[in-house]
Structure 1
Amino acid sequence: MTAQLAALPFRHVLTVPAEPSAVRLARETAELALAEWGINPHHPSVDPALLILSELVTNSVRHAADRSPQVTVIYAAGADCLALAVHDRHPHRPTLPGPATGDGAGGLATVMELTLGLGGTAVIRADADGGGKSIWITLPL
C-alpha cells in the first residue's frame, strides 16, 4: 500500500489544533483540494470520503486531544484513487470493525461500512516510536 500511496501525484497536508473546529476545517480543506485536483464533487466516493474524514478527525479531537494537541490530515489522490489519513499522537490504536460485526462501534463502524461498501481499504499505522498513529483510508475514484 505504501508504494501505491507514494505514486499518487496529488498531495496536501493540514495540521490543526485538536479542537472541534478542526473537523470543519479538515472537511473544507478536502473539498478545496479535490476541486483543485479536478475530482468531480458528484463522484460516488466524494460524499462518503468527506463523512469518513469528519468521523476520523472527530475521533482524534474527542479521544486524543489530551495527548495530542494537534491533528494532521493527509490528502492524496490519483487518477483512480483517493487516500485520506488522520494522524494524532495518542498511542492507543483502536480496532477497526469488520464488515458485518454489527457491534455498534459508533463512528469507526460507520467509517468501515462506508469504506468497505465502496471497495476501499482501511489500515491503522503506528508511529515508529509507538507514540501515535495514522488511520489511512483509500477509496476508488
Structure 2
Amino acid sequence: MFTQLQALPHRHVLTLPSAPAAVRSARETAEQALVEWGIGLRHPVVGPALLILSELVTNSVRHAAELSPQLTVIYAASDVHLAFSVHDRHPYQPPLSELANSTGTSGLATVMELTFALEGTAVIRGDTDGQGKSIWITLPL
C-alpha cells in the first residue's frame, strides 16, 4: 500500500507545532488542497475525512507533544483515492486493529469506525529508529 500512496499525483506536506492551533491549520490546509485538486468540499467523503484528520492531529497534540514538538501532515490524492497521514515523534503506536473492533468512544475508535464505514484503510508505520510513527488513512473517492 505504501508504494501506492507515493504514486498519488497530488501531494502536500505541512509541518506544524504540536499545539492546539495545529488542528485548525491542518483542516484548513486540507480544504484548500482538496479544492486545488478538484475535489469538491461537498463530496460525501470530505466531511468524514476532515473529521478523521482533526481527530488524528488532536491525538498527536494531546498525547505526543511532550516528545514531539512538531507534527507533520501529508495529504495526497488521485481521481479515486484520498490519503493523509499524521506523523509525530512519540514512540507509542496505538493498536489500530483492536480499535477497529471496539465500541469505545475514543477519538481513535471514531477514526477507525469512520474509516471502515467509508471502506477505507488505516495503517500505522513506525519510524525506522522506533521513536515516532505515522498513521495513514486512505479513502476511496
Q: Shorter-chain TM-score category? A: over 0.9
Equivalents in 1 of 2:44, 2:6: separation in Å? 24
Q: CA deviation at 1:75?
A: 0.1
Equivalents in 2 of 1:98, 1:92: separation in Å? 15
Structure 2 unaligned residues grouped into runs of 5+: none
> Which residue is equivalent to 1:34?
34
Q: Does 1:138 align with 2:115?
A: no
Equivalents in 1 of 2:100, 2:90: separation in Å? 25
> Which residue is equivalent to 2:102?
101
Q: Could you tell me the TM-score, scaled by structure 2's length?
A: 0.96
Q: CA deviation at 1:130?
A: 0.5
Q: Could you tell me the TM-score, scaled by structure 1's length?
A: 0.96
Q: Given residue 102 of structure 2, which amino acid in structure 1 is its aligned partner? A: T
> Which residue is equivalent to 2:53?
53
> Which residue is equivalent to 2:4?
4
Q: CA deviation at 1:98?
A: 4.4
> Which residue is equivalent to 1:126?
126
Equivalents in 2 of 1:82, 1:92: separation in Å? 26
Q: Identity across aligned pairs (percent)?
A: 70
Equivalents in 1 of 2:95, 2:44: separation in Å? 26
Runs of 4+ in 1 over 3 A off after TM superposition: 97-100
Q: Does 1:16 align with 2:36?
A: no
Q: CA deviation at 1:40?
A: 1.5
> Which residue is equivalent to 1:71?
71
Q: Which deviates the most, 111-120 or 39-48? A: 39-48
Q: Given residue 95 of structure 1, which amino acid in structure 2 is its aligned partner? A: P
> Which residue is equivalent to 1:43?
43
- Contact (CA 8 Å) 2:18, 2:65: kept in 1 or not? yes
Structure 1 unaligned residues grouped into runs of 5+: none
Q: CA deviation at 1:59?
A: 0.1
Equivalents in 2 of 1:37, 1:79: separation in Å? 9
Equivalents in 2 of 1:100, 1:124: separation in Å? 16
